[in-house]
């Protein structure tokens, strides 16, 4: 059984990597690049760039090991029928969901801005979950996919720490999945919210999950890969 020990907070953990998946949340051009949804909301999108390289390293080592990798994207159908009016009517009408922007219609499936940044682009066999909400379990088949593959542990990366990452981790926790949030692989437009988002997850004995830095995990997974303990894909 391929196992890694992770020095996480609030406590160290042992993970059987055959039962773990890497979940990369919403690393989309709409959030990370100028002219997308994140900027339309008034944010400085450069604040998220720091998470890209750590995510790339984690993604590379997960792929080498044959770990299940799942990507998510927040966005809506072109006819907006899956978007609650409350969400649609938020903010300046010129910058709302569905409005035209330099990367196509804002936060709409199929538009360039909705897609994942090139550095972390999914491989053909990696599931991509299109989600209408902040949480990756809400109105998606993510839970079914995880249960079908016997996954009980999620390494969670992505943006933003306090919004879609936190919402997804809370949803996962209620469904019995253990989450290990990789701190440097997540980012927020607000550094204080990034820290608070991580603090809320690991407080009270890990009330929603655990938090760990990615580099030691990347190294430990690389050792497993070299030993040839690649997961047999289902
Ligand atoms: N606004 C913000 O911080 N985040 C989102 O709207 N979506 C995600 O976090 N993906």
Look up the CATH number of the domain holding residue 137. Answer: 3.40.50.850
**Domain for residue 142, yes or no?**
yes
SS3 93: helix
The residue range of the domain holding 49 is 3-76+111-226
Is 21 within a domain? yes
For the Cβ of 159 lying below 6 angstroms from any atom of ligand 1, the answer is yes
Helix (H) or strand (E) holding 39: helix 37-40
The response to whether residue 163 sits with its C-beta less than 6 Å from ligand 1 reads yes
| pLDDT at site 93 | 86
Within-domain flag for 91: no
Whether 233 is covered by a domain: the verdict is no
* pTM assigned to the model: 0.97
Is any atom of ligand 1 closer than 6 Å to the C-beta of 48? no
**CA-based radius of gyration for the chain:** 17
Q: Would 221 be classed as within a structural domain? A: yes
Average confidence (pLDDT) over 2-16 = 97
pLDDT of the residue at 233: 52
Encode 101-122: b = buried (16+ Cβ within 10 Å), e = exposed: bebbbbbbbebebbbbbeebeb
Question: Is the distance from the beta carbon of residue 51 to the nearest atom of ligand 1 less than 6 Å?
Answer: no
Is 131 in contact with 163 (CB distance < 8 Å)? Answer: no
Question: Is 7 among the domain residues?
Answer: yes
Atom of ligand 1 nearest to the CA of 37: 6
Residue with CA closest to ligand 1 atom 8: 164
User: What's the pLDDT score for residue 131?
Assistant: 98
DSSP helix, strand, coil percent of the chain (3-state; round to 5): 40, 25, 35
Q: Is the minimum distance from the CB of 27 to ligand 1 under 6 angstroms?
A: no
Instruction: Give the DSSP H or E segment for 90.
Output: none
41 touches ligand 1 (CB under 6 Å): yes
Calculated CA dihedral for residues 118, 124, 127, 132, nearest 10 degrees: 50
Residue 190 lies inside a defined structural domain of this protein: yes
Reported as a single tens digit per residue, the pLDDT across 45-103 is 999 999 999 999 999 999 999 999 999 999 999 999 999 999 999 888 888 999 999 99
Q: Kindly give the distance from the C-alpha atom of residue 80 to the centroid of ligand 1, in angstroms, as a whole number.
A: 18
Phi/psi at 99 (nearest 5 deg)?
-75, 150
26 is catalytic: yes
Going by alpha carbons, the residue nearest to atom 7 of ligand 1 is 164
Spatial distance between the Cα atoms of 1 and 59, rounded to a whole number of angstroms: 21
- Say whether 131 is catalytic: yes
* Cis amide linkage into residue 114, ω under 30° from 0: no
Decide if 234 is inside a domain: no
pLDDT (tens digit per residue) in 177-190: 999 999 999 999 99
Q: Where are the beta strands (DSSP E) in the chain?
A: 3-6, 13-16, 20-25, 68-74, 100-101, 104-105, 128-131, 153-159, 178-187, 210-212
Please state the domain count of the chain: 1
Q: 224 CA to middle of ligand 1, Å?
A: 34
**Length reported for the chain:** 234
């Amino acid at each position: 059984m391929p196992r890694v020990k992770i020095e996480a907070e609030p406590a160290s953990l042992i993970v059987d990597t055959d039962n773990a998946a890497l979940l990369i949340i919403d690393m989309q051009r709409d959030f990370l690049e100028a002219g997308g949804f994140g900027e339309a909301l008034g944010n400085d999108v450069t604040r998220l760039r720091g998470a890209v390289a750590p995510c790339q390293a984690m993604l590379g080592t997960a792929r080498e090991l044959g770990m299940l990798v799942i990507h998510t994207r927040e966005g809506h159908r072109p006819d907006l029928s899956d978007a609650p009016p409350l969400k649609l009517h938020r903010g300046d009408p010129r910058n709302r969901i569905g409005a035209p922007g330099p990367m196509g219609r804002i936060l709409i499936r199929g538009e360039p801005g909705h897609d994942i940044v090139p550095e972390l682009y999914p491989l053909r066999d990696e599931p991509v979950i299109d989600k209408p909400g902040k949480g990756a379990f809400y109105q998606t088949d993510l839970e079914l996919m995880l249960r079908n593959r016997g996954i009980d542990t999620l390494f969670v990366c992505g943006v933003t720490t306090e919004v879609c990452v936190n919402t997804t981790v809370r949803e996962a926790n209620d469904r019995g999945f253990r989450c290990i949030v990789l701190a440097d692989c997540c980012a927020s437009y607000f550094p204080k919210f990034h820290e608070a988002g991580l603090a809320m997850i690991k407080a009270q004995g890990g009330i929603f999950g655990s938090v760990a830095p990615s580099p030691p995990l990347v190294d430990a997974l690389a050792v497993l890969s070299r030993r040839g303990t690649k997961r047999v894909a289902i």
